[in-house]
Structure formats: C-alpha cells, structure tokens
Amino acid sequence: MKSRPLFWYIFIGTVFITLSLIWALTFFFYTELKDFYFQEERQNLLRSAKILHEEASQSFCSGKDSGLDNLFERIGQRTSVRITLLNPNGKVIADSESIAGRINSHKNSPEIKEAISGKEGWAIRYSTTLDRDMLYVAIPIRCTALGPTDHLSGAKGVLRLSVPLASLEDKLFSFQAKIFLGIVLALLFAVVIAFLVSRWISWPLQEIKTMAMEFAKGNLDQRFGQRDRGPVSQEILSLKNSLIHMARQLQKRFGQLQQQKNQLELVFASMKEAVIVVDRDGKIKSINSAASSLFNIGPDYYIGMSIFSAIRNLDMQRHLKQVFATWQDREEEIVFSLEQDYSKKRYFYVRTVVLKNQHGVATGVLLVMDDLTRMKRLESIRRDFVSNVSHELKTPITSIKGYVETLLDGAFQDAEHADEFLRVIAKQAKHLEAIVEDLLCLSRIEIEADGPRISMESQDICPILRAAIDTCRLRAKEKDITIECECKSPLKLEINARLLEQALTNLIINAVKYSRRGKKIIVMAKKTTAPGSTSQAIISVQDFGVGISSEHRDRIFERFYRVDKARSRKLGGTGLGLAIVKHIAQLHGGRVGLKSRPGKGSTFFIYLPIKG
C-alpha cells in the first residue's frame, strides 16, 4: 500500500470535510430558502388576490363581468401576474392574458377544487395554455357579506392568480450565483485553514520523525527543538519529550555498553591465551593479538577466513570437526609445530566452548589456546634437575659407601689399601660437599632475588676482576695456562662485589677446566652502548678450549646440565657453576651470553647495566 506524508492526509481530509459541510449547509439553506421564497411568493399572490377579491366579486355578482378582462389585463401588465376569474364549473369568465372563451375548463385543477370547496388553494404545475410552469393561488368568490376567507361551501366563483416559475427561478439563479461565489470563497478559506492546520499538526510530527531517524542512526546526542516554531499540542510535546528522554537513557546505556565493550576488548587483547571466535559456518569473527602473534599474521587478515584454512594442524582440525559435529564443549592438549624448524614443538591446552543464543541454538564456538610450552619446558628442566641432582649425589655417595664397606670387611687391616681408600672417600666427600655448597649458594641467591634487594655499591669492577683471577691463578698454573686481564679503570657499576667475584671465579675456573694445556684465558671488561642508547658494561671470559656445539648452547646455563657428562665428572665439576653465574647476573639486573665454536673455544659474557 502506497504511503503518503501525514500532512496530505490531514490536508485532504480537512478540505474534504470542510467541502462536504459547506455543500450540505448550502443545500439545506438553499432548499429552505427556495421553500421560503415560494411561500412568500404564494403569500404575496394570496394578498393580491384578496385585494382584487372585492372589486372582482362586485362585478361578478352584479353580472357586470364584461369589463373584468380589461381590468385584469391592466393589473397583470403592471404586476406580471396572470389573473383569472372562473365560475364553479371551472369555466374561465375573465383572464388577463387570454380570451376567456378559448380556455378549457379548469374544474379538475387542484387549486380550483380547493377554492370551490371554500378554501384557499394553491399549486405548482405546467400550464398547457401558456406552455410553462406556473404557481397558482385561488380563492373563492361568494356573493354574500362574508369575506373571501370565510369557510362556506358553494362558492359562486373562483379568483385565481398565477405567476410563471421562470421568473422565480431567475431570481433564485441570481441568488445561486451569489451562493456559488460564497462557496468558492469559503472553499479557498477552508483550503488555507486546512493547510495551516495540517502544517501546524504535521511539522512537530515531522520533527519527531527526524529525531527518531537520527536516533536510529545512532546520533543520540542531537539537539532538537531548540527553537519553537509555534504552539504545539500537549500530546505531541509529551511525545517529543519522551523521545528525548529515551534518547538520553539510550545514550547512557550505550555509553555503559561501550565502556564494557572497551573493557572486554582490552581484556580480550591483553590475554596471554590465544582466543578465536568462530561463527556457525566456521568463519573467524574475532581474534586477539596473542592468537595473531601465534600464527604470525595480522588480525585483520583472518577475519572472515575459514578456521580450517587458518590453522593447518591435523589434530586441531580433528578437534574442531568433532565440536562442529556434536556441538559439545571439548578440551584437550594439542602439539603444534609453528616454527620453521619443525623439530621445535609447542604445546597448547585447547578449550573449545559452544556459543548459544537466547533460544539455546548454537551460533558459533569460542576457542581458547593456552600455551603450555614453557610449563612443559620447566617440567622437563625440573625432571632433569631432579635426575641430575640424584645422579650427582648418588655417584659420590655410592663411591663412599662402597669403600667404607670394603674397609669394614677387612681392608682396613691392609694399611696401603686402607690409606688409598680413605683418600678416595675424602675426595668424594669433598666433591659431595662442593655440590651441597653450590646448591646452598644457588638457593641463597634465589632467596635474595625474591626477597629484599641485596646491598649494592658503586664500585670499580677492575679490582674485582683481578681478585677473581688471583683466586684461579694457582689452578691455571697447574695446566700452564696464563690469564690476561683487560680492564681500564675506573669502570664503576652498582654491584655486590662478593657475588660478582664469585660469578667471575666460576667462569674462569670453567675456562681453565676446558682449556688445553699451554693456552691462555682473556678476561675483559669494557663499557659500551646497547640498542636503545642504554649504557652497559660487558664482562667477558674467553678461552681457547674444546668449545660448545650449537645444540647445547640454549641449555648450558641450566642446573646440572653437562655437555659431556663423563668429561665433566672427570674434571670435578658440580654442574652448578654456570647456573650460579646466570642468577648472579639477573640479580644485578643483567644477563648472560655465549659465543662458541667447537674446537676453537668459547667466550662467556655478563652484561650489566650502568645506572645514572
């Protein structure tokens, strides 16, 4: 159905109602006026008939009616009224417009019948004599002292007056023209009034419509009705105020929803877990930065992509297919190979939750991937640590236990063997003591790192390097190894001298152990500028020993990790020296590093920040 503006409905309706009302009133008043006009004309004819009655009755009753034709003719010419005198049989005796003898009998005419019966009669009918519509009025003529209106039967004659209706209609036509002009003026006035009324009613509604459309577009902060164009109805004003109030409430609710949305997006973006929202058709609707980083592609690239195309992992695709097939929540651990080196595995605990609408119909799924790789790695380190600690402690304990049992079984009586066994027991006990001491040292460093900050002082590190070298010089001399120191004083840092000296001692001893006889070790400290314009000191210990292959470099600073276990035990290491170095560097806000080539030697680095 075709719709039109409310203005046109009001305008056309108002004009139609006004026109109908004007037409009805005009028809009613015109009908009443016409009846009134004919009534007045009939009364005028009756009054004229009564005036002529006396003269006509005298001539008629005295038998001197021969001169009535002339009389009636003179009067008729002056008044434009036809005057006729008839006897009781309806025969015309005298007439103002025709010869009496040529006129047919009017005995059956209704007005004549009324007059013969003694009443005043009238009628409107067509005159065959004059060939026109006429208004007739007839009164009885009696040859007595009674007046013409007295009711007595047996009238001696009838006096009839008539006028043509054409003259009456001409007068009414003139009046009709005036009425038509009045109707036109009234209609124009009604159109103007209808237009103004329609505008008066429709413009606030149009403004309300504009408000509603702007609200639908989300422009809830628009200001309407700042300048009134005129008076409005209470209902429309109330509706307008209700819309404005509704818009303010919606704006407030939308603000709250936007704030909640921003908070959720912030939480969504800052989650460490990879989160992906997928619709019912398997298309990605949303993805957070963690998931985007996981697959190394921008988030916008994924929107609208199939989840099966985005994640090319057979176990993951099987997981998702089962969820889409059953629409049931599912969770499991899945291994990914996301690196270019597919030997490096990443472990994820995948939880897939089905999203449903208010009717309980599934609309998609929420995929949460929790990276367990670091946890797995830490778990592996823990297992290796427990295994290594157990093995490291078990080896000297087993040796001590075996030699003690041998001595108790009688070897103690053999002085030569007893002395040798006791020296082995002492060596293993010393090794066991070294392991325990390094474990306690490492534990103290971790406690100090987790607790209050250790005391730090601004000191020149060059004397500390020399002190560590002096501590290790005797052991280096046994292998004919020289230790060179390159450090230009002053090089001041915020350090704990005791711990830094211990870290350097561990690095130098480690370099002595794995250096070939007759080689040298270079201990160096220098100031440099790191990326980001941050000043730092680099302490390095370089040896020219066996070196370390690439597969061991990432784990070389782990506790009890050994590149060559048999060689390390032969050299008497505890497997904790480099781990202690790493923790001491971290305690100073620094880090460790390594460069090595198998067969060429290794260089260990300690990077410490320079504050101020």
Q: Is the pLDDT of residue 199 over 80?
A: no
Q: What distance in Å separates the CA atoms of residue 576 and residue 431, rounded to the nearest whole number?
A: 12
**What is the pTM assigned to this prediction?**
0.43
Cβ-contact 555, 575 below 8 angstroms? no
- Cα maximum dimension of the chain: 205
Give the contacts of 536 (CB within 8 A, at least 6 positions apart): 527, 528, 529, 530, 590, 607, 608, 609, 610
Q: Is 242 exposed, middle or buried (0-12, 13-18, 19+ CB in 10 A)?
A: exposed
Q: Is the pLDDT of residue 450 over 60?
A: no
The 10s digit of each residue's pLDDT in 531-589 is 665 788 888 998 888 888 877 777 787 766 666 554 455 555 556 778 888 888 888 88
The 10s digit of each residue's pLDDT in 494-542 is 888 888 888 888 888 888 888 888 888 899 988 887 666 578 888 899 8
Percent of the chain clearing pLDDT 90 (strictly above): 1
What is residue 443's predicted lDDT score, i.e. its pLDDT? 67
Strands 346-356 and 362-371: antiparallel
The 10s digit of each residue's pLDDT in 75-128 is 777 777 888 888 888 788 787 776 555 566 777 788 888 888 888 888 888 777
Q: Is the pLDDT of residue 367 over 80?
A: yes
Cβ-contact 67, 59 below 8 angstroms? yes
User: With bands split at pLDDT 50, 70 and 90, how would you rate the model's confidence at 293?
Assistant: confident
Structure tokens at 264: 């959720």
Q: What distance in Å separates the CA atoms of residue 58 and residue 137, rounded to the nearest whole number?
A: 20
Distance of CA 213 to the CA centre of its chain: 16
Structural domains of the chain, with CATH:
7-172 (3.30.450.20), 218-266 (no CATH), 271-368 (3.30.450.20), 376-450 (1.10.287.130), 457-609 (3.30.565.10)
For residue 32, give Cα distances in angstroms to 26, 37, 123, 493. Answer: 10, 8, 18, 122
Among 539, 462, 461, 535, residue whose Cα is nearest residue 493: 461
